Amino acid sequence: MAPGKARLVEGGALVVVGGLLRLFGGDLELGWFDAHPFGVVLMLAGGVQLLDGAWRLNRGRRESA
């Protein structure tokens, strides 16, 4: 799998898991931290991964053209 596509898959998965934690995590505690803020952090990290994957795919298309 191309690096850009892998980043898109990873980022999408992080956004989905983070969104689920944010929506349904409520009072759930994962070790020493709450699920709600952890979900927000996962969503932000996933967004960065998505942007990076899109940038890599776009850069690859421009170099091959």
Give the pLDDT confidence of 10-28 residue by residue, as tens digits. 999 999 999 998 898 878 8
| Number of domain units in the chain | 1
User: Is the pTM higher than 0.85?
Assistant: no
User: Which range marks the domain in which residue 33 is found?
Assistant: 3-59
In a domain, 46, yes or no: yes
Identify any residues that bridge with 29 across adjacent strands, giving them in sequence order: 34
In a domain, 65, yes or no: no
Burial class (CB in 10 A: 0-12, 13-18, 19+), 26: exposed
What are 1-10's pLDDT values in tens digits?
788 899 999 9
- In the chain, the largest separation of any two C-alpha atoms, in whole Å, equals 51
In a domain, 30, yes or no: yes
Length of the chain: 65
In a domain, 64, yes or no: no
CA distances to 8, 47, 51 from 3, rounded to whole Å, are 9, 16, 13
In a domain, 7, yes or no: yes
